[in-house]
Chain A
């Protein structure tokens, strides 16, 4: 099975910082990657699909890129409400594995 890894596992940043989270697949998966945001105690929220397409209603400061094995989620200017854990997920074929998550908080 294809494994999904994320780095870093956690990061601390300041309001306004540019934040980049990396997701790596152990084999090529084209652009079949989605990203989710989960705030503490809340239900996961769908952010991005097809590696780079923003779900309707998601703020434009979020963006995704990548193809093959390497993918990134970028928050261009971190806002207080962005404190959360972010997960990537592959969906090219089963199993539809999630990455282990990256927790973003404030310095």
Chain B
């Protein structure tokens, strides 16, 4: 069974940093694009960032560009999101989501999500 498990969330002060991780299992990680999607409390889904299967390309929402960095380690079956200069509006549940091979970015499997709270 495909599994994605996020970790690394928590409470951080404005201007602070956090690194989210997503450990995956039961599929060949290195052949799929991977993604982060977030959902602020009571709000809709917001795409955050995507990365190709061998990190050839990365994409970011304008709201996080220059502050967040997506990366992956195919040897460790893991996806990461380094979040710097965090703002209150970054408060959300962050989901790791699997894309498809061939650079197709719809999301067929999702993790349970991890809460990031940015507050002083």
Q: Which A positions have Cβ atoms within 8 angstroms of B?
A: 1, 34, 36, 38, 43-46, 49, 55, 85, 87, 89, 91, 94-101
CB within 8 Å for A94 and B44 given contacts A43-B112, A46-B107: no
B77-97 CB contact bits vs A (8 Å, 1 = yes)? 000000000000000000100
* Contact, CB under 8 Å: B112 / A96: no
A-B contact pairs, 20 of them (CB 8 A): A34-B106, A36-B107, A43-B110, A43-B111, A43-B112, A44-B37, A46-B110, A49-B108, A89-B45, A89-B47, A91-B106, A94-B50, A94-B59, A95-B61, A96-B59, A96-B105, A98-B37, A98-B44, A99-B44, A101-B44
CB within 8 Å for A43 and B113 given contacts A89-B47, A96-B47: yes
Tally A-B pairs: CB < 8 A. Answer: 58
CB within 8 Å for A100 and B44 given contacts A43-B95, A95-B62: yes
- For chain A, what secondary structure do more than half of its interface residues adopt (helix, strand, loop), or is it mixed? loop
Q: A95 to B46: give the CA distance in the assembly, Å.
A: 10
Q: Which B positions have Cβ atoms within 8 angstroms of A?
A: 35, 37, 44-47, 50, 59, 61-62, 95, 104-113
